Amino acid sequence: MSKCETCARNVNGSVPMAALENERAQANVDKRRHFIIILVLIALLFGSNLAWLIYEKQFETVTESIEVTQESERGFNSYIGNDGDIYNGETDYQEDDDTPCP
């Protein structure tokens, strides 16, 4: 008997029960393995995020306030600090009505 005749008689595509049970058992093992891998990956994600936060925490900058006194005639002051930051502020100067405008 040739292989084609055997295939022609097996039209309904029946699979031996042992092969089917073996596939189901393997699928259950694969599902369990994938579930464990996903849990491990989630734990590693949280661990790496925690490690990154701990690493970045050591570089926190401390801000300090600087008080600078300047005098200006038109009420606006600007101060450029040592680090290049520009601080804008206003003076307590009030313009008189009889002062001529330049």
Backbone region of residue 65 per phi and psi (left: phi > 0; alpha: psi in -120 to 50; beta: other values): beta
Q: How many domains are there within the chain?
A: 1
In a domain, 68, yes or no: no
Q: Does 42 reside within a domain?
A: yes
Q: Indicate whether 9 belongs to any domain.
A: no
Measure the CA angle with vertex 72, ends 71 and 74; round to 5°.
Answer: 155
Share of the chain above pLDDT 90, in %: 29
Residue 49 included in any domain: yes
Domain range for 31 is 15-57
Q: Does residue 10 belong to any structural domain of this protein?
A: no
Per the domain annotation, does 66 fall within a domain?
no
pTM of the entire predicted model = 0.43
98's tokens: 């009889």
Q: 28 lies in a domain? A: yes
pLDDT in tens, 49-95: 999 999 988 887 777 777 766 666 665 666 666 666 666 665 454 55
Position 82: which residue type? N
Contacts of 5 (CB under 8 A, 6+ apart): none
